[in-house]
Structures are given as C-alpha cells and as structure tokens.
Structure 1
C-alpha cells in the first residue's frame, strides 16, 4: 500500500474511532454542563498525540505505532488511541512520568473549568499536548499556555500540537511556579496531582479566577478572591494523575493501618480522607472521624488558602474538622 493510501486509510479509521469516542463521552454526561466541548473532541485527533503508547501485556509493556503496514495492526492501534481510558505515553525506569488522561474525565474537567470566550488559561502538565489542543480549539491559541518541567515532554507536545494544527504557548519550567510572564490568567487547570495549591498560582490569577486541580485522589475547584486568598470544594469524582514534578511535590510514605478494618482500607472515599489528612491524622483517627460523620462524600470537603496558610476542611472552613496542607 502506498504512503498516500496508508494516510487516507488511517484518517478514515481515526474519524470513525473518534466519532465513537464522542458518542461514548456524550452518553456519560461528562460535558452536560458545557456541551460546547463536544465540538472540540469531535475536531481534535487524539491519535496524533499518542503516536506510541504503552499497554499492559502479560505484566510488561509494548508499543504500537500507526505506521505499521499491516492494516489489522493499524486498526488496533487507532481504536486503542480512542478508547475512553488513560494511555501511558512515557516511562522512565519503569515509572510513569507522562500519560494521556481518560477522555471522559478530561471532558468533565474541562466542563467544570467553566471557561468563557476570551479566558486566558494556564495548564499545569503539558502531557501529550492533547488537552492543550482541546483548550486551543475552544479558546484560540493565544489564550492557552501549557507548562511542563521535562524538556522531552514539552518538545513532544509542541510537535503533536503542530501536527494537529494548534500552536498554544508551550513552556518548559516548574509548573508549581506557574508562568508569570504569561499572567494574568482567568483559569488554571492542572493535569497532575498536587499535595497543596502553590501560592504563586493565586498571584497570577485575576480576581474571580477558577483553579481546578487533582488533589488527594479528588478534584478541587477553587475560586480566587485575590493574590492571597482562594476557597472551594471538591467535585464528586475520583481522579488519579501523575504527581506534580517540581518544587511542591510530596512524597508518599508507608501507611501503618493500625487496626483499620479491611472494608475501610478498600473504600475509595476513606482512602481519599486518609490522603487528604496524611500529615495530621493517623489512619485510626481518620477512620473514627469517617464513621462518625457518616462516611462523607467528596463534595463535603473543601480547601481554603489564606496568605501562607492552607487547610482542608469538612463541611465548613471554620468548623471543627480542619487539617493543614502546608
């Protein structure tokens, strides 16, 4: 098969797989609050952002390329690029350092970001560039900045974005420090897990800006009041992302369960509380609280940033249950 025929075949396969993914996300209700994102997912070709990805094979990994001359291998690769699942895209010494997130979760996060036309958005964690492309499709290249610590990741993201026809600003730097030269921002979205909200982000936001970030296996949505104050609650959904690499990364340690029942250890909401209170409560204390308060869901928790202080809380920022994050 000639090169042009191969490209045409690949494009047709991708269009069909992308349409199927959009229907699946639509059915999930992920963008129900902002269905305009449907158009972005219909337009942006995810397979250009994952020219290779890793999938589990008998405990190991294999790469799959779209350039394979075998049409069956190409079809598997393309359909794999459009599954509603996260795809590992970069490993280092067996550790995951970059991935393409689950599309329905990306759609839900983008809808929850509540962007408006003309908003300037900073993305923390460039990944493959796919999320930045979705933002650029909605808002335009000039309104989108994405940053990552790893030069290899930002270089690859630029290539993928250019191949798809998008040219947002891609910065190599510590996402924990933001991108002050591109501020002010109306929205900040992180695609990596934080242990606390970096203070520098607030100073780079306009009053009323919204920050959406994974934290403690959840998603926190903060409204910025000014350069020193922000507050908000967690969304209902669980979220697991690659940790932020840079100044504010927190290393997790061994958990001593201390008599916590197995049913709690395996309960996703309890593990959320345990992660959120990791530096304050012992697991047994967290379990006692969790049971006493009726096994609270994520929406009952929130975070407040006030100057140099930052704390998580249950139900009320000034209530009896509060735990410092830094």
Structure 2
C-alpha cells in the first residue's frame, strides 16, 4: 500500500514539476517563434524518458534512478528530470556517449524547425526518445516521425520509453549521416548531435523547400533545401554544444591558441569562428578577421552545400570570406 501512496505522490510531483518547467521555458522565450510547442511540453512526461541519469560529483558521476528503494532518492530523481538542464543518460568508460538535451534548447530548436501539420520529420540522434515524442505529439501522427541512432541499445531504450509514453514513431538503428532513405521524402530534418559538415544523403532525402536544423561547430545552422544537390542557410544566434555524431569520423585535433590575446581565446564567438574555419584559416588569421569584422555574431555566418562543394561564409555565400568544410 505504502509504495502506491508514494507513486501517487510522485505522479503529483511530476505534474507540478512539469508545469514549473513549462513556465520556465515560457519565460525564456524559447518557443516564441511557435508557441504551439508549449502544449507538447505540457503533455509529454520527460521522466518516462530518463528512468535513470548521472549527475556529476567529485571524482566522477552518481547514478540517480526512479526505482530506488529510497523515497528521497526517487524524489531527487524526479525533480532532476524536470530541471531545465541536460541530463547525462549513458556513460562508457566514464565518457558521456548520450544525453537528454536541455529542455529550453530543445524547445527553441523545435520552434525553429517550423514544423507544419502533415510534415514528415527525420530526427538524427534518437537519444532517450523524448524529442521524438514531442514531435509525434505536435504532429498528431506517430508515423510522420522517424528517429535514427547508431547504437542498438539506445534505439531499444528509446522505443521502450516512447511506448511507455504512448507513442510509436519509427525508430531506426543505423548511421544518421546516411539518413533513412526508405522513409523519405522528408519535410524537416533535425539533428541532436554535432557534425563537421552536412551529409549529402540528407539533401537527397528531402523535398524541395525542406528545412534542416543541425548543430555544426558550436552553433545551430538552419538550411533550406533547394534540391537534392543544393541547400543554404544561416546560423541561429544561440550557442549549442552537442555530443558528436557517432560514426561521423575522428574527433578534430584541438587548435593551438598560443600567441592570441586572452579576450579572444576565452570568447565564445571567436571559438565558434575557429570551429567553422578549421583547416581554412590559421588561428592568427581568424583573429585578425574577427577583429576587422567587429567580432561578428553567429547570425552573420552561414553554410552552402552545392554539388560536391560545401563551404562556410561570413555575410555572403559568394563574398570574400568563405571556407571549405570537410567533405
């Protein structure tokens, strides 16, 4: 009997914690571009997607889980599930391999995806399944949503979490860089992992006019697909740090920053420029450009994919400042 009373208390706590999270995201302005997302965040229970997660403690991580025999631990787990913070959900040898993104960042990305009724959406990086559930709720049709991840244990867990929340989008185990051709064509593609460049198969699997939103470097770029060989768009204003796409190639070597002024080395926007021009500019050249152009904000940068070529640019895709991205 006691356990059921506690479960009832946890249900009540989950409802109030979820409502508080929705108010917090609302106040942040994250979904101002498309307030319909408020209803999805009110309806989809995040705690079902993070039955356990890890919090950093001195010397490593501590696991919090919803099945703990200790009532206080269960309560801390539940409150943490509705905090507006990213949650580490999978570790391997002490390294983070999967996480549930910060809800306000997810809300902003979903609003910027500009989903409309009937859109077919491909998500790269299934994670816990929470993002796919939000999409399925918003679209009102699970079959419009496809999510892909390389790791079988991640896709299996995502399927289970989604089913627990009453959703059954198509969950595919495979390389996200290859897309999911058998589910194409897509109207929207959203990635929740960082990439060094835009995979060509995504364009080929999109309808003309489709929108792709993906982390690249330490930013988020929103591309409009013209056709199977051409897409272009600008970065959003926000910084974004995501786990790299697994299978997406080796991690880039750190850029040596010796000799640069500290105010540049520590500046988030300068580090964004470094990530974008890796291999195209050395750090000193990047610094001179950054100063000359008035320390540009992210929205002045963009990406163009055309045929075999892919490049980043400042202000104008055909302008004087362009840098090739890795093929």
- Whether TM exceeds 0.5 here: the answer is yes
Tell me how far 1:109 sits from its aligned partner: 0.1
Partner of 2:52: 52
Partner of 2:99, secondary structure, is strand
Partner of 2:200: 199
Partner of 1:125: 125
Tell me how far 1:71 sits from its aligned partner: 2.8
Once the two structures are superposed, residues 8-33 of structure 1 have per-residue CA deviations (whole angstroms, 9 ceiling, x without a partner) of: 22211111110000000000000001
- 8 Å contact kept, 1:190–1:212: yes
Partner of 2:161: 160
Partner of 1:281: 281
1:134 aligns with 2:114: no
- 8 Å contact kept, 1:243–1:249: no
- 8 Å contact kept, 1:194–1:249: no
Tell me how far 1:250 sits from its aligned partner: 4.5
- 8 Å contact kept, 2:187–2:207: yes
Distance 1:69 1:93, change over 3 A: closer
Partner of 1:80, secondary structure, is helix
Structure 2: gaps (5+ residues): none
What are the within-5 Å matches in structure 2 for residues 1-326 of structure 1? 2-139=2-139, 140-246=141-247, 248-325=248-325, 326=327
Once the two structures are superposed, residues 215-239 of structure 1 have per-residue CA deviations (whole angstroms, 9 ceiling, x without a partner) of: 0100000000000000000000000
Structure 1: gaps (5+ residues): none
- 8 Å contact kept, 2:60–2:94: no
CA–CA distance in 2 between the matches of 1:36 and 1:117?
11
- 8 Å contact kept, 2:84–2:104: yes
Tell me the TM-score normalized by structure 1. 0.98
CA RMSD of aligned residues (A): 1.0
The runs of at least 4 aligned residues of structure 1 exceeding 6 Å deviation read none
Partner of 2:259, secondary structure, is coil
Tell me how far 1:259 sits from its aligned partner: 1.0
CA–CA distance in 1 between the matches of 2:292 and 2:271?
16
Partner of 2:52, secondary structure, is coil
Once the two structures are superposed, residues 247-281 of structure 1 have per-residue CA deviations (whole angstroms, 9 ceiling, x without a partner) of: x3351203211411111010000000000011111
Tell me how far 1:5 sits from its aligned partner: 2.4
CA–CA distance in 1 between the matches of 2:225 and 2:211?
6
Tell me the TM-score normalized by structure 2. 0.98
- 8 Å contact kept, 1:17–1:79: yes
Partner of 2:33, secondary structure, is coil
- 8 Å contact kept, 1:258–1:284: no
Once the two structures are superposed, residues 123-160 of structure 1 have per-residue CA deviations (whole angstroms, 9 ceiling, x without a partner) of: 00000000000000011201000000000100000010
- 8 Å contact kept, 2:133–2:162: yes
